[in-house]
Structure 1
């Protein structure tokens, strides 16, 4: 497990930024430092709200990134040979006291299958945590 050896410690954690969209537009955004959350819903309406993740949710995302080897992901993961302009693109950024790690990932990435899988798993976990938090805050 990489948690103990990760160059980024949760005690120094500041925020996570998660953005995604198609083409050059990363219209869907979340910033844990500000709580700003916006996304396009099923009816193509832009929804803006304030959503805070609690310490346990942030710790879970920090550990999930460590488990999947996020700190070793290349900064840019895209299809270099024949990029699909309509493929979903993601920006994942973890911010700490002394460092930050940002990865730009395109769903049409033509790299190793294990790296693609790790990216997709991290993206799904971030989205799941955001969805669960949004449901909790509606209650």
Structure 2
């Protein structure tokens, strides 16, 4: 083979390895979770053992305590663009690669004085459950990811609710 042809084949092989490697790194980084395989999200928050604030994307049931401790109930579903936005942010910030329980080692998960968030992401082939206590102070990176996850989920639900209310 001519040296020029060998050089072109070597460059093509290196490009192939780089592209394939990049693809698999991106796939691993996103945990293989795609918006298309998303089935439902359950999001609950509050203190103590009864979390009265919740949203279930499968049924669209949303309930929360207002400023006067009145239970407000609404029903709306997430649109496809909400799910795509949610997953793009989760994958971009690698938010599902956190422990299932984010709490201090001696924490009471049902402490009436600590705000708790519970997430359940259901996909075609797997489910990811996360419990996050806001007083967690062990690893700031994990705490920041859990806080970011909560903010993104709340943002998506708030946007979907505003669309529902404005009708």
TM-score (norm 1): 0.89
Matches within 5 A, 1:42-57: 42-57=67-82
User: Which runs of no fewer than 5 residues in structure 1 stay unpaired?
Assistant: none
Secondary structure in 2 aligned to 1:4?
A: helix
What is the aligned partner in structure 1 of residue 132 from structure 2? 105
Task: Give the strand-richer structure, 1 or 2.
Answer: 1
What is the aligned partner in structure 2 of residue 88 from structure 1? 115
Matches within 5 A, 1:34-49: 34-49=59-74
Matches within 5 A, 1:67-78: 67-78=92-103
Which protein has greater RCO, CA pairs closer than 8 Å, 6+ apart?
A: 1
Asked whether the 8 Å contact 1:61–1:126 carries over to 2, the reply is yes
What is the aligned partner in structure 1 of residue 152 from structure 2? 125
User: Which runs of no fewer than 5 residues in structure 2 stay unpaired?
Assistant: 1-21
Cα RMSD, aligned residues only: 1.9
Q: Tell me whether 1:66 sits opposite 2:91 in the alignment.
A: yes
Which protein is bigger by CA-based radius of gyration?
A: 2
In 1, distance between residues paired with 2:157 and 2:130?
19
Asked whether the 8 Å contact 2:98–2:145 carries over to 1, the reply is no
Matches within 5 A, 1:8-19: 8-19=33-44
Aligned length: 139
